[in-house]
Every structure is written in C-alpha cells, then in structure tokens.
Structure 1
Amino acid sequence: MPVIGASVIEQANTSNGVVVDLDGKFSITAPEGAVLVVSCIGYVDQEFTVVAGQSVYNVTLSEDNEMLEETVVIGYGTARVRDLTGSVATVSSDDLEVPVANVAEALQGKMAGVVVSMNDGTPGAAPQIRVRGSKSITQNNEPLYIVDGFPVDDLSSVPADQIKSINVLKDAAATAIYGSRGAAGVVLVTTKSALEGQTTVSYNGYVQIKDSSSNIQDVLQPLDYLKFTLGYARDYNIANYNNMLSYFGMNGGEHYSDYAAATSHNYQEDLYKTAIAHSHNLTITNGNERSRTIFNLNYLYDDGTVINTYYNRINASLKTQQKLNDRLNVEFNISYAYVNNRGGYGRSSGSLTAQAYRWRPIDNPMGDVSNIAGFGNGSSSVDSSYNPVDLAWNEANNRYSHRFQGIAAVNWNPIDDLTLRSEIGLQKSFSKYERYNAGFGNETNRAYLSRGESGDLHWTTTASYQIPFESDIHRADIMIGNEVISDFGESMSFDAYEFPTSFDRDHTFAFMNQFTQTSTFDTSYDVPNRSLSFFTRINYSLYDKYLLTLTFRADGSSKFAPNNRWGYFPAAAFAWRLSDEEFMAPAQDWLSNLKVRLSWGMSGSDAINANLWRETWQLGGNTKYTISDSRENTENDFGQAYAPQGMMQNPNLKWETTISRNLGIDFGFFDERLYGTIEGYWTTTKDLLMPVAVNASTGYSYQYQNMGTVANTGLELSIGGDIVRTSDFTLSANFIYNYNVNKIIDLAESVAVNTYGQWASSEGAPTTGEFTLQEGMAIGTIRAYKYLGWYTTDDFTYDPTTGVYTLRPGVPDINFDSYWTSLGRAANQTAFPGAAKWADIDEDGVLSEQDTYIVGEMTPRSTGSFNLSARWKNWDLSANFNYVIGGMIMNTEALYSSYGSKDNRFGSNRLSFVSGAYSPYRWTSDGTLELVTDPDELDAMNANATMHTPTSMKGPLFDKYLEDASYLRLKSLTLGYTIPRDLTRKIGIQNLRVYFTGTNLWTLTGYTGLNPEVNTSRTSGSYNFPTPGIDRNAYPLAIAYTIGLNVTF
C-alpha cells in the first residue's frame, strides 16, 4: 500500500526534497553517494544511498509503534502503553510548554477525567484538580502528588521546564498500589534526566504582560449613590439621616449641583494595573556511559494585577545517576525551593477587590467629613469600608517558605531479571507568615506573626523480577515492596495590636514583644503521623494479547486507633488486544489498535486530621485548680485550665474506602492517524467521615463517625488525530469530553444536612444554610428562594390619611424583620412596595424557610476541551479551548449589592446595576431628597425598575443570583518559530525557538461576574462541609501576553 505524503530529502542538502505521489512514486535528482531519507509521520525513517547507474529504488516503510511502545510511570515502576490495564492519562513535556506560574494550570484541558479549574487569579495560586469527581464530603479531594517518587502538597514548587512527563492514575486498578493515599487519584511527575553522550546548556525564558482591566465593573454615579445611601440612612433612623446630610453637605440640597456635575471614582481602576511577570530557567546536562547529571536553576517573578501583590520563587535542583558497575548504580536528587508571595490585606471584611466595590465612589464629600460616629450602630458608617489603594500599600499578607528535599536511591541487579531498589527521601520545610493591618479610622495598628516547621521522611524498598519463559507466549513480572512514612510539624504564632498609629510596619513588628499592647501567643505541635505499608503487583501477558494485572497493598496508619489501624486495598485489571487477533486480520489495513480494558479495585484516604480518634484538650477558662488538680495558695488567684475541645474523640473510626470499576476501550485507525479512548466508570466511596451532633451534656458538640456513601458515575472520551500529514505541513486536533454524576447514596439522619455558604454575614437566609446534603443529590447541591421580583402597590391597600400600606388578603407577608423603610406599614407587617418578593412554595400563606427549593448542583457535570496544533516548516501554532456545560455560580458580588447587614449597609457594594432598583425617593428641584408615598407616583417613578429596593439588614438568597456556570474559553494561543538549524549550528546553537502566547484571550459565557471558573469558598464551618461555586471577593483572572525564548547550546 503506498504511503501517500511521505517525504524524500537529501540528508546533506535539506532544501532538495520531494513528496511521494498518490501511487507511492517519487522522482528526485541527487548526486552519486548522496544519502536520501524517506520519512512520514507514523513510520520509521528509512535511508538509502544513491548508486551510480541505478535509477529505481524500492523503499518499504515500517510502522512506527513508538506510541504504543512508549513507557509511562505507573507507581513504583513503569509499563508500556500497550500493556496498560488500568486508566492512566499522560502529558509530555511538549504539552507543558505554556508560560504559567503553576504547572498544574498547564494541565487544564489536556487529560480526560482530570478537571483543572483556575478558581482565583492570585499570583502563584494553585488550581483545583479533581480526578473523576469528589469522593469525600468532609475530607480532602485533592489527588496525591508525587514528584520523582516523593509526595508533595501540590505542584507549585516544580517549574514546568524541569518536567519530563506527568501521569495521572485514575482508576483503582492504577491507584491501589498507593493504597490509603490513592482514592482521589494520583499525579505522578517525573523530572528530566541527562541523556547519555550529551553535554548541553539550555535556557528557557519569557516575559509576560498581564491585564485585568476587562474585569472592572461599573459603579454608581454620585447622585445615584447618594440617593440610595441617604435613603437607607433615613429608613434606618432620622439621626442617621441627619448625620449623613451633614457628612455629604446635602442639608437643603447645598451641593446637589456639584455632585450632579461630578463623575464617580471607580477605585477598581486604581487598584488594578498592568503587571509584568518573567521566568528564567537554566539547565545544564552532562552524560556518558557511567554518569549522567542534570542541574536546573529557575527564577519566577509573577507580578499581580492588583497593586502590591506578587509571587516570587527560586528553584534549584541537582539530579545525578552514577553507574558503579554493570549491576549496581546509585541516584541522588536534591532540590531547594524558596517562595515569597504577598497578597491582599487580612481584615475579616474581605479582600482588596471587595473594598474596591464598597468604597464610596465620591472622592471628596463636601460636608463635615469628621462627622462619622453617628451612623448606624457605632462603627457602621459610610466610611466603615476602607480606601482599597491605602489598604494595598499600607497593609499586607506576606508568606515566606523554604523547602529542602533530598532523595537517594540504590539499584542492584544481583542476577539477571531481578532488580532491587531502595530509596530514602527527606523533606524539610520552614515557613513564616506576616500580616500587618494599619490603623485606619478609629483602629490601631496590628501585627500577626507565625512560624512553622514541618518534615517528611520516606523509605521505600522494592524488588522487581521479570519471570523468564522459554517462549514469547508468556510474559510476567512481579514487584513486591515496603514503605515507611513519617511526617511531623510544629508552629508558633504571635498576635499583637493596639500599637500607636504612628508606628509603621517595621516598628510594629520590631516591638511586638516589647510594648504594652494587647497580645496573644500560641504554639502547636503536630502529633507525628507514621505509616507502614506492604504492597505487590503482578503483571501477566499471554500471546501479548491477554493482559492481567493484580495489585494488593496493606497500610497501617497512626491516624487511626489500634483496632482500625490497618487497611487493605486489592485491585485486578484485565485487557484484551483485539487488534492482534487473527479474526481481525481483514481490518488491519485500517485498524491499528483496539484494546478493551476492565478493572476493579479499592483505594483509601488517610488525608484526615490525625486527632479524630484521640481526646484533645485546649486552654479554656480560668480556674482555681491547676492541671494537676492542686489547690492554688491564693483564693482569688485564678490560673488557666485545660478543657476538652468541641469535638468528641472516636476510637472506632476507620478508613474512607473507594471502590472503583472501570471499562475502557483504546482505539487507533489508519496507522494511528486517528486514535483515542472511551471509558466508563463507577466509583463508590463508603464509610465517609461525617460530623454528628452529640448531646451537650457530654461537654462536646460533635463527633466524627463513619456513616455515609458517595458515588461518582461518569463517561470520558478522548479523540485525537492528524488531519493533514505532509513533509512540510501537519495539522492535528484533540477533543476531550468528561461527564460525571456525583450522588450521595447514603447519609445518616443524625448528620447535619445544611450548611451556610458565608457569602455575607451570619444573618443571611435560609438561616440554617443554603447548601444541603441529602441522599440522592450531589455534593454541592443548593437551595434558594424563587425570586418573583418585588411587591408593587397593587399588593396593598393604601390609606392616604395615615400613609400606611396594608397587604391585600391572599398576598403573603415576607415575615422577614430585616427590611427598613420609611413607607408606612400595617402593624406586624414587614412587606412594603419595593420589598423583594419570593414564591410561597408550600402555599401556607406565609413566606418562610420552608419556601426554599432545590435549585440544582453547583458543580458542572460536563467539562472538556478541544485543542488544535499545526506545523508548517519551522512555524508552529497551537490553540487550546476549555469548556464547561452546566453547574452554577453564586454571584455574591451582585447579591451583596442588593443586601447587607445593618452593620455594613453603608459599606455595601456600589455596583452600577443598583441604579435601576425600586426606590421611594427622588430628587427635588432644590436638590433635596423627597420620600414619595402616593401609590400612583410610586408606580410612575418605578415603571422601569429592574430590581427590588436594596435596603435590608440581611437578605435571602434568591435563585436569580445562582447563575449558569457554562463557558467556552480560549485558554491559550501560541505561535512559534524555530530558526533553521543550518544557521544556528554555525554559531554553536543546537536549537533556537521564539514564541508568542496569549492566555485567557476570549471567554463566551452568560455569567455576569468576573470569572465563570471561580470558587472562592470551598468549605464552610468546623464541619468542613463543601460550599463550591461561590464568587466572593475573587482576585481577577488576567489576560496575559507572553514572548518567550528556548535555546539549547
């Protein structure tokens, strides 16, 4: 069969080349002795030499099975792709060539079943990664990250330039080898090693310009702002109103015309800036028959688009492999990482971005600006928020960390086919956190300092034996291993405040323990966690077509009481290569690969608090008895006492266990021009660790118990192919689709079913929480009130004599005592014209918490991506798109513009859409604010109203603020050019490439907030219940433009 599109090129003169025609023929002129190279994607290159007098050459290209013969890391070993029986997704270093601060972001849209979300745009922020959905309700759902065999918290300290490949183990057949740590998936990172016979020096660097101006939201104009602010003050009480008039100089409409002529000051424009980030990576390699060494040095400065925020990182690593003799070699891998990042300020009222929404949009109030004490109740004032620019430059959260890691390993082959490996690794981390709050308003300076130290020790020993057989019919290997893990940590913190406002940041920290300020000092020591594990894996192949993998691991962990300390995790997987069967021979012209995989397995999760089974104590109130129960000498001298913490211990706790079933089909057509995988899975996580309320007489409030089951059922599809293959031009495409259904199967009645999302204040509604946990529903299911707009004058009868509005019969009252209004209301009635209105779902004539309904799931079920890549001669182009279908986002910035507590109403969001709200106030010709009570006039004034009156002390969560989270985003677009090697080699350069990348260039979404990927409040309360999909005070996601350079000497 002719290989259409194959190229024939003279090796010594690459400009001399032709393309094979439709019949597989070619014609080329070349001198005697010239070497011609015949090549085509999907085939092994063939060379032949031009012989004098010979004009016809028959060339046969053999299929290149490199894709199937390629090995991947699978946990304590490697395997050929063609031999995989479990579900493993792989990304090579070529797929990571995206200029990002955290390499995990580069994984977005690259692997089926692995959902990566950029929940926040903070410099250095780690993306959220979920492998086939959330397995646990209260515990960690992040996968296990392992870099060169050593577990790490995340991938933030590993530069993308140093990574060779990333493999993600998805089903239990693949993750069971990690036992108690593998339930949420395993991410295996392999860093680059030196190659034998090469000495190279490489530099990869980029400069990036980031912009967040597209995230700026319009704010109220001065007169609209004054109308709602003064109106709320009048609704609250007349003293409030008079103070407001004085503050703004609006007594008698004095400065009305000045405010009318003024424009609003949008502090987001001052807060956001164009930022410049840059990264530099130097790699030096040297390799020969006995020794291979690679040295990496990386520096990253990621400037934030919010002023005075940044992320700074330095990495250095040295990796060497020494062959002592033909049967013994040793490996050493040492690394150091330093991180310094500065975030926003640390007050409880929110982030810098939140303050930009809430700070008054009037630069200079034209009245008595010293008159701020009488607003609301004490601290509640028009200036209860803070100028975000002042905060950015005078307050800070600074975090510093140093991480040292060393790994040493020895490999010994005492006999043929047997490999013994022992690896020991040590990691030590030191951290420091500084928070400084400047003394704004009537506050004083405050400083908080904490230091921490932690460490991990891992010792792993394995023995791998390739069982010899006389024929190729059978092939088998067995691996057995043992692992010991120990980790520890300790910390101290010092919180001091009431410093003089004249102290700057440096003085405040310098005098933390020398000034008569109020302070608290705290220390903690983590109980060391230790585990002992034994594991084995057996692989068997019959005729290279029937593949079987058996895995077993036993883990013992100190995180559980002695009677439940051990967990056992078996797995089995079978694969059948149908494409190699004789009865499939007629299809071999177009079918290059077809394999069916079936697996079952168990894995666990020990990512839990180590003290859930122990009784823990904390410093409590004062007592006349010491901890040893001895009476103190002085009758009135009280000392500190220890008291039980709120959680009751439970020595009967056991593992959360995930059972996974997987069915997969791998396929390839037309010599792998079209290839892909389709997989269906069903996972069940049982014995969930759930908090259960206990009787208050015990002295405790709750206890963790094993009493729940969660299931994830899903479908994954990954299809890729080469659309065009020629010698000069290739065009490839890849499409990924993920569909995951999460469902709570079993949940004990004693488990609290609702949790509060903390979107504003504790006075919100539903008062028992909007997130709900119920059998048959997904984690992250949310309930809300059905929004019906607002009460109109038609809902009331009006008495012009008293000015009182009385609800008509059959119109339910909202029974929500948080609304303030100057309109007259009947006794014991809270509704009034303009008040928000919602559906009386239970039809009992009363609007109450029973009128909430299940709106849906916050987490989307369908996610995916499609990617295009092209190469023409020395040019390369790639485009990566990500998409989400379904899910919801709670737009709390819009919600907070509509509501707020009486303590921060004057500091609520000033977003411009509020200008269309229903209002009983209007400006008169003399510039004063007039309250309108007549129904006809109210109707005329508010004929074009777009929302209810935003004057409530607290507010219900309406379904209108739960917006569709669907989006399509052009995540990255890259154009690169590689300088011809015949030019670069003249100056000693092996490879030189320049490129341009745009990131987050375009997003199609119906979401009215900043970022449809946002998730700023993932858990809530001491129970750690999940509250996904909340958009509250999020750091904006920037558009980035990058110019980069890759050069190898």
Structure 2
Amino acid sequence: MIGYNQEWGQNKFVRAQNNTLITPLIQDLNATIGLQQTFGGSNHMSLRGAFYRVNYIFDDRYLIESNGRYDGTSRFPAEDRFGFFPSISAGWRISNEDWMSGSSNWLDELKIRASYGTLGNQLLGNNFYPYIPTMGIGQSSFMMTAGQRTPFVSPAGLVSPTLTWETVISQNLGIDFALFGGKLSGAFDVFTRDTKDMLMRREYPSILGTGAPQSNAADLRTYGWEMELTYRNQFTSDLNYDVTLALSDWQSTITRFENPSGALPASNIYYEGQMLNEIWGYETVGIFQTQEAVDNAADQSALGANWRPGDIQYADLNNDGRITPGNNTLENPGDRRVIGNSTPRYSFGVNNNLQWRNFNLNLFFQGVWSRDHWPTSGNWTWFFPFNAGHVERYFIEDSWSEDNRDAYFPHPHISTNDKKNIQTQSRFLQNAGYIRLKNVNLGYNLPYRWMETIGFQSANIYFAGMNLWEYSPIRPPLDPETIWAGAIEYPMQRIYTLGARITF
C-alpha cells in the first residue's frame, strides 16, 4: 500500500469590544458609548507527506511488516521541515514449525515478535510560526493624551535556528502463547520509547529580557513492560469461568537536557538522569510537642517565623543546624531530597466472568499498586482548606492542640500566607495506590419454556453497578482517581442499575 496526504488549515477571527454599556439590560455593541475597539488575527499551517506499508507472510510462520512516512510541515524552516519515519516489525510462529509437532497436544500457539519504529511530532499548540521572529502590536491598557490609547510595537522574541521534528523511537519485544486447548493464554511485552529532540521551551536567566524560544531541547527515555494472562475453563456442563489479569509498569528518565546551573526540577526545567515526576521535599521528623523541643531543634527560620509547639519539625539532612532550601540546585538542595514520584506503578485490571446455568456474573477490578501524590498549589487543596475560606470537620478534629497531641495535622494558623507547616514534605505525601470494583453485572436469563408460554423470545433480568467498593491507603476524604485536578469538587459516584431486556 502506498499513499499521499496533504492538509491545509486556516483560521481567522475578528473581535470587537467596548467597556461602557448604556444600560446593563442591553448587552450589544450598538448600545455602548465611548471607545470601541476591534481586534483580528489570521494563521495557517500545512502538511504534506507520503506513506507506505508492506506485509509479507511465509508459510504462516514468518511475518514481516514495514511502514514508513515522509512528512513535511510548514512549522519548521525549509531546510528542516521534512523527515522520514520508518518502522519494521517481525513475528515468528514457533508452534507452526515441524520440529514442534510433538508439543501439539498441549501447546496451541507460541509466537515471538519484535518491532522497531519511529514517529514524528510537529505540534506546538497554537504556535504556527515558531521559527519566524514576529513583532507584536497593540494598544496600551491606559488612556493617555486626549482619551486615546497609545499604540505600541513589541520587539520580536527569540527563535531557534535549528528547529525540527521531534522523533519518537519505539522498540518492543513480545511473546504470545496459548496452552491446553486454550485454557491458558497470554502475552508479555517489554518496551523502550526514546523521545528525541523534544519540542519545548528551556529556561534562561531573567537577565535575557525575553522568553525562551521553542527548541529541540531534551531527550526522554520511557521503559517498561506489560502482560496479559487469561484462564478459562468449563468445570461442568452448567459452569463456565474465565479470569483475565492485565498488569503493566513503566518509568521515564531524562537522558539529555542542558542545565548548566544544576537547577532543581520545575516547569520546563529538568536534569540528566532525572526520573520523570519526581517529588522533591523535606523529610518530616514530626510535630513539635514542647517549646523545649523547638529550642533544641535545627533553626527553621528560613521557612517561617514564630515556631512553637504544634508546628512541623523538619529533618536537618545536611547537618548544618539550619533547615533551608539551599541554592535550589542539585549540588545544594538544602534539606530537601526526592521523597516520592507521582508515576503510577504496577497498574492492573482483573476481569472475571462466571456463568452457571441461567445466571451470569461479571466483575471488573482496576487499580494502581503505588503512586505518590502531593496536592497541587491553590486554595482547594485537601488539607488546610481554610485557604478557601472554609474549614472541614476532619481538619478541626485532627489538628494539633494541647489536648490532641497525636493529631495528623499541625496547629492551625489564622494567616492564609503562613505556609511554613505545609512545605512539600514526607508527612503529608499520600500513597494514591488503590483497587476499585469498577463494574458489576449480575444477570438471570428466564427459562425458555416460561418465555414460550407468554410469547417472548427471551428475557434477561439484570443488576449493574459502578464503583461499588474500593480500598486505598490514601487519607480520607481523598479519592485516588479524583485528586489530580488539585480540588475536591465531587466524590466518585456509585451507580446502581436494575433492569430487564426482553425480546418479542
């Protein structure tokens, strides 16, 4: 198969506004007075490419497939806008070899496969001309002479002279098997995915005076494995059962990033060897119980003032007698270290099907063995919710006081700007691993002789449920599937359905 594709897209917009309404009852530009403003814009982008696919199978044993694309984009300079992205995969059905005929009584299928492939990425959001330095124009936000806004032209930003495609290189090795007449089957894969020349913005010193350009600034390697195992059996003529387990794990590491100052990870800042989704923070000793403990501990004044019983005590990891963030660099992170990682580890799903006579039951469990969570910044974080102007009952009942020294939370402070006790730290780091019964379906097929009597072809009565049960070590009221937006807005809903399916 060979093909050719070409795309062209254009977007235009016009906007008008006025800030002075004659009456708020009529919201229309014709019902305004004062200075009216109009705005507009236009952009376009295009793609052009050719692709192919070749398949070859010999004797149902050897399988080869090759794919390739040659693509060009208007987003990059003319000399760097085309790229070739090939891939190849091969499989070998070992079970079909003549010398495997002796295993046919227990081995149904055995196949190994391998693949190597590349894909290109040229998407940069709404930045359609990242290689062209463009000057902005506009009007000042303030009225100047004679009630007029002063027009201005802003200087062009920086661009990368070598901007080109981001390339994803995937490698996979897998095995498929089926045993004992299909009772046991499964697949296992190991993979690596290298993202080369990642399209992103680097961080430059503020003395530069402008924002960093889009550039091919980093490389990333993701590696992991996944497996699927299914067991099915018919125990009696009335009883059938099957269960499928899916399990996977992956991690990502930054393999190239220019970080000469050794700055700690932040938005668009990485370092070579960094595990993606690292959480840096302080190690928590506990909660100060007495003023004597405060006086004898390391100096924590760099994180806040007025330390007293009920406040958090942090560990002095570098043994300098002070708790500080250091220089915010890898060489001097102060008393911080990697305390966790928000990458989900060992994601799994278990699907069960049971059929006994006219009854059928399906259960689906899913979950994550381990995943660290530290709440995002903002008012609607799960702890210290007084930042949002309200206080939850669980916070009141489990905050430190003279009569509640074993509390989980420290002594509350009135000031919403006092963040000394909620620095990123090991005490409040949550394990967001979980297992949840996502779906339950229980059905009963009414006997055919009953249906024949009343003129029905078939009838099934069923009960279905979603999110009926879960377990997680995370601290209530958090739910491990709803916390990643940084807000507790709505809890996970439990849904119950009772119904019937009838065929006339």
TM-score class, shorter: 0.7 to 0.9
Which of 459, 464, 474 is the aligned partner of 1:1007?
A: 474
Alignment of 1:483 with 2:41, yes or no, is no
Give the 5 Å matches for 1:542-621: 542-609=58-125, 610-621=128-139
Contact 2:298/2:316 (8 A) holds in 1: no
Q: Could you state the TM-score of these two structures normalised by the residue count of structure 2?
A: 0.83
Aligned-pair distance for 1:702? Answer: 1.5
Counterpart in 2 of 1:713?
223
Counterpart in 2 of 1:973?
440
Q: Deviations over 1:47-89 (max 9, x none)?
A: xxxxxxxxxxxxxxxxxxxxxxxxxxxxxxxxxxxxxxxxxxx
Alignment of 1:859 with 2:343, yes or no, is yes
- Unaligned 5+ segments in structure 1 are 1-478, 625-631, 757-770, 797-806, 820-829, 920-939, 1018-1030
Aligned-pair distance for 1:525? Answer: 4.8
Contact 2:383/2:395 (8 A) holds in 1: no
CA distance in 2 between counterparts of 1:984 and 1:614 reads 73
Which of 704, 719, 731 is the aligned partner of 2:214?
A: 704
Contact 1:842/1:851 (8 A) holds in 2: yes
Instruction: Give the stretch that moved more between structures: 843-852 or 547-556.
Output: 843-852
Alignment of 1:871 with 2:350, yes or no, is no
Alignment of 1:947 with 2:409, yes or no, is yes
Which of 301, 317, 321 is the aligned partner of 1:841?
A: 317
Q: Deviations over 1:124-148 (max 9, x none)?
A: xxxxxxxxxxxxxxxxxxxxxxxxx
> Which residue identity is paired with 2:133?
E
> Which residue identity is paired with 1:719?
L
Counterpart in 2 of 1:815?
302
Alignment RMSD, CA only? 3.8
Aligned-pair distance for 1:538? Answer: 1.0
Give the 5 Å matches for 1:138-157: none
Q: For the pair shown, which has the larger CA radius of gyration, 1 or 2?
A: 1
1:579 alignment partner, SS class: helix
> Which residue identity is paired with 2:200?
M
Aligned-pair distance for 1:602? Answer: 0.8
Q: Could you state the TM-score of these two structures normalised by the residue count of structure 1?
A: 0.42
Contact 1:604/1:658 (8 A) holds in 2: yes
Contact 2:66/2:89 (8 A) holds in 1: yes
Contact 2:243/2:351 (8 A) holds in 1: yes
CA distance in 2 between counterparts of 1:848 and 1:660 reads 42
Alignment of 1:1032 with 2:494, yes or no, is no
Aligned-pair distance for 1:774? Answer: 3.2
CA distance in 2 between counterparts of 1:615 and 1:988 reads 76
1:831 alignment partner, SS class: coil
Structure-2 change in CA distance of 1:654 and 1:544 (3 Å): same
Counterpart in 1 of 2:265?
754
Counterpart in 1 of 2:330?
none
Counterpart in 1 of 2:498?
1043
Alignment of 1:886 with 2:365, yes or no, is no
Counterpart in 1 of 2:278?
781
Structure-2 change in CA distance of 1:699 and 1:957 (3 Å): closer
Contact 1:487/1:528 (8 A) holds in 2: yes
Contact 2:279/2:339 (8 A) holds in 1: yes
CA distance in 1 between counterparts of 2:362 and 2:35 reads 56
Aligned-pair distance for 1:618? Answer: 4.1
CA distance in 2 between counterparts of 1:518 and 1:725 reads 84
1:583 alignment partner, SS class: helix
Counterpart in 2 of 1:345?
none
Give the 5 Å matches for 1:342-741: 479-489=1-11, 511=27, 513=29, 525=41, 527-609=43-125, 610-622=128-140, 637-644=148-155, 648-694=158-204, 699-724=209-234, 726-741=236-251
Aligned-pair distance for 1:1010? Answer: 2.8
Structure-2 change in CA distance of 1:838 and 1:620 (3 Å): farther
Contact 1:899/1:954 (8 A) holds in 2: no
CA distance in 2 between counterparts of 1:947 and 1:714 reads 37
How many residues are matched? 485
Report % sequence identity.
26
Counterpart in 2 of 1:233?
none
Aligned-pair distance for 1:577? Answer: 0.5
Contact 1:897/1:911 (8 A) holds in 2: no
> Which residue identity is paired with 1:811?
A
Higher percent of residues as helix: 1
Structure-2 change in CA distance of 1:690 and 1:518 (3 Å): farther
CA distance in 1 between counterparts of 2:370 and 2:67 reads 37
Aligned-pair distance for 1:513? Answer: 4.0
Aligned-pair distance for 1:642? Answer: 3.7
Which of 891, 910, 919 is the aligned partner of 2:392?
A: 910
Give the 5 Å matches for 1:160-199: none
2:301 alignment partner, SS class: coil
Structure-2 change in CA distance of 1:1016 and 1:856 (3 Å): closer
Contact 1:720/1:735 (8 A) holds in 2: yes
Aligned-pair distance for 1:540? Answer: 1.0
Structure-2 change in CA distance of 1:524 and 1:689 (3 Å): farther
CA distance in 2 between counterparts of 1:637 and 1:973 reads 67
CA distance in 1 between counterparts of 2:110 and 2:47 reads 41
CA distance in 2 between counterparts of 1:792 and 1:515 reads 65
> Which residue identity is paired with 2:493?
A
Counterpart in 2 of 1:924?
none
Aligned-pair distance for 1:905? Answer: 4.7
Q: Deviations over 1:986-1022 (max 9, x none)?
A: 99976654432110110011111432123534xxxxx
Contact 2:400/2:411 (8 A) holds in 1: yes
1:742 alignment partner, SS class: strand
CA distance in 2 between counterparts of 1:666 and 1:814 reads 60
Aligned-pair distance for 1:694? Answer: 4.3
Aligned-pair distance for 1:587? Answer: 0.6
> Which residue identity is paired with 2:311?
A
Q: Deviations over 1:779-833 (max 9, x none)?
A: 211111222233343436xxxxxxxxxx64663233234x5xxxxxxxxxx3233
CA distance in 1 between counterparts of 2:153 and 2:51 reads 43
> Which residue identity is paired with 2:151?
Q
Aligned-pair distance for 1:887? Answer: 1.3
- Unaligned 5+ segments in structure 2 are 326-333
CA distance in 2 between counterparts of 1:962 and 1:493 reads 46
Contact 1:623/1:641 (8 A) holds in 2: no
Aligned-pair distance for 1:834? Answer: 2.6
Contact 1:795/1:811 (8 A) holds in 2: no
Counterpart in 1 of 2:254?
744
